[in-house]
Amino acid sequence: MEELDPVALRKEFPLLETRRRPDGKRLVYLDSASSSQRPYQVLEAMDTYYSTTHANVHRGVYAIAEEATRQFEEARAKVGRFVGAPNPATEIVFTKNATEALNLVAHSYGRGRLGMGKAVLLTEMEHHANLVPWLMLAGERGTELRYLPITDSYQLDLSDLDKLVDGAGVVAVSAMSNVLGTVNDLRPIVEAAHAAGAVVVVDASQLVPHRVVDVAAIGADFVAFTGHKMLGPTGIGVLWGREGLLEEMPPFLGGGEMIRDVRLDGFTTNDIPWKFEAGTPPIAEAIGLGAAVDYLESVGREAIAAHERALTYQAIELLTDRHGDDIRIFGPGPDDPNRGGVISFAYRDIHPHDLAQVLDSSGVCVRAGHHCAKPLMRRLGVSATARASLYLYNDEEDVTALSDALAKAGEFFG
């Protein structure tokens, strides 16, 4: 495996290459967990599609329409192979984002297939995207929601797993926390869920961009992720689902594309995956996501994971060495080999909003807030955290810039 060179890679990301801070230095972008930047290969793929091939898909019989359809379906197959889908052509549903993918499952499986009286088991570390759709279901049908708690070392507490999963019809869990950086060991959860007869929904929004994810190896039934966190465009997300389950489920949104026949008194649905893709799909975005997948594969996902592991270790060591008790990191320690490159922290008693503002004046972009995980914030006993997140284009210089900017913020607020 070849080591990746973040300095060389940055040259391929137009925003990182051209955007300058007021003092002329390059931007230090540490918010990829919220949304990554994208390389020119992705932008060009979308541009080329629009300027040479665009027509609506699955409709026209003329040449460019066929070509657009072919490119769109090729992108689907590519994304499917990327995550190890056994049947890439039928099991990959394109959505607007991960949120829509998870709503699709909660709606079509939750309302359509989940037996009355069956519970849904979630975790305390879920993003609102994998929480609110289930709360909506609970509000409508009285579905019981249960939660796997987290330990004081920021891991899922599985000690009551067997009890909690008993009577559950769905277990919905995040593969990696967008706040803590914890990468969850899904195997025992999948095993217990399947033994109890529940389907497993995995929110892999934070994991797919950074690690090799193989849906077949995970053994889950649904896996959701989102394009804009993995170098792809906004406006596209992905749901992988087992063929048999997708076939049984009722559609989510209704309209064109998802039907086979419509009469004035009813309709029949299209085959999967189109049954779940009502209306004109995000065609250029799918092609852009395909290009992002090509890019990630050309850099090498093992190399990306290795780079992020090393940099995350360096970052946590540097921050704790230099700032000591001034910094408190909410997440697994640097030695946890599974830990992702998401570092949430508190610095002295400076409010994360103020911290992010002062860091911005040093050209360092970090996120401050509840990160769409309010129950987790309550569990941590804070209303917000600051969060720096790393990706393939970050390097030690970025981490040092963060550390310097924190020291400046400390001086500023005295």
Partner 1 sequence: MSGLEDLYREIILDHYRSPRNRGELPVPPAQRVEGFNPLCGDEVVVFLEFADGVVKDVKIAGQGCSISQSSASMMSAAVKGKSIEEARQLISSFKAMMSIHEQAIGGDGSDGERAEANIPPDGLGELAALQGVVKFPVRIKCATLSWNTLAQALDEATAGVAADGAA
Ligand X SMILES: Cc1ncc(COP(=O)(O)O)c(C=O)c1O
Catalytic residue numbers read 372
Integer Cα distance of 257 and 255 in angstroms: 7
Q: Which does 99 bind (CB under 5 to 8 A by kind): ligand X, partner 1, none?
A: ligand X
Pick between residue 153 and residue 361 the one whose CB is nearest to partner 1.
361
Q: Which does 97 bind (CB under 5 to 8 A by kind): partner 1, ligand X, none?
A: ligand X
Q: Which does 206 bind (CB under 5 to 8 A by kind): partner 1, ligand X, none?
A: ligand X
241 near partner 1, rule: CB under 8 A: no
Integer Cα distance of 159 and 157 in angstroms: 6
From 78, 127, 275, 309, residue interacting with ligand X (rule: CB under 6 A): 127
Q: Which does 143 bind (CB under 5 to 8 A by kind): ligand X, partner 1, none?
A: none
Integer Cα distance of 158 and 190 in angstroms: 12
Q: Which does 22 bind (CB under 5 to 8 A by kind): ligand X, partner 1, none?
A: partner 1
* Strand spans (E) along 149-236: 168-174, 199-203, 222-226
Integer Cα distance of 376 and 328 in angstroms: 16
Q: Name 167's Cβ contacts closer than 8 Å, sequence gap at least 6.
A: 117, 118, 119, 196
Place of tokens 């499952």: 105
DSSP characters for 84-133? T-SSHHHHEEEESSHHHHHHHIIIIIIIHTSPTT-EEEEETT--GGGTHH
267 near partner 1, rule: CB under 8 A: no
52 near partner 1, rule: CB under 8 A: no
123 near ligand X, rule: CB under 6 A: no
Pick between residue 98 and residue 284 the one whose CB is nearest to ligand X.
98
404 near partner 1, rule: CB under 8 A: no
From 73, 354, 365, 404, residue interacting with partner 1 (rule: CB under 8 A): 354
Least distance from C-beta 254 to ligand X, angstroms? 21
97 near ligand X, rule: CB under 6 A: yes
Query: Binding-site residue total for ligand X (CB under 6 A)?
Result: 14
Cβ count within 10 A of residue 351: 15
Peptide bond into 209 cis (omega under 30): no
Pick between residue 143 and residue 226 the one whose CB is nearest to ligand X.
226
408 near partner 1, rule: CB under 8 A: yes
DSSP characters for 303-337? HHHHHHHHHHHHHHHHHHHHHGGGEEEES--TT-T
Q: Which does 369 bind (CB under 5 to 8 A by kind): partner 1, ligand X, none?
A: partner 1
Least distance from C-beta 344 to partner 1, angstroms? 13
370 near partner 1, rule: CB under 8 A: yes
353 near partner 1, rule: CB under 8 A: yes
Pick between residue 226 and residue 312 the one whose CB is nearest to ligand X.
226
Integer Cα distance of 330 and 349 in angstroms: 15
* Strand spans (E) along 119-221: 119-123, 145-148, 168-174, 199-203
User: Are residues 112 and 250 in contact, defined by beta-carbon separation less than 8 angstroms?
Assistant: yes
User: Are residues 351 and 412 in contact, defined by beta-carbon separation less than 8 angstroms?
Assistant: no
Query: Binding-site residue total for partner 1 (CB under 8 A)?
Result: 20
Pick between residue 32 and residue 362 the one whose CB is nearest to partner 1.
362
Q: What residues line the site for partner 1 (CB under 8 A)? A: 22, 351-354, 357-358, 361-362, 368-370, 374, 377, 383-384, 408, 412-414
| Residues at the interface with ligand X (CB under 6 A) | 97-99, 127, 129-130, 174, 178, 203, 205-206, 226, 237, 372
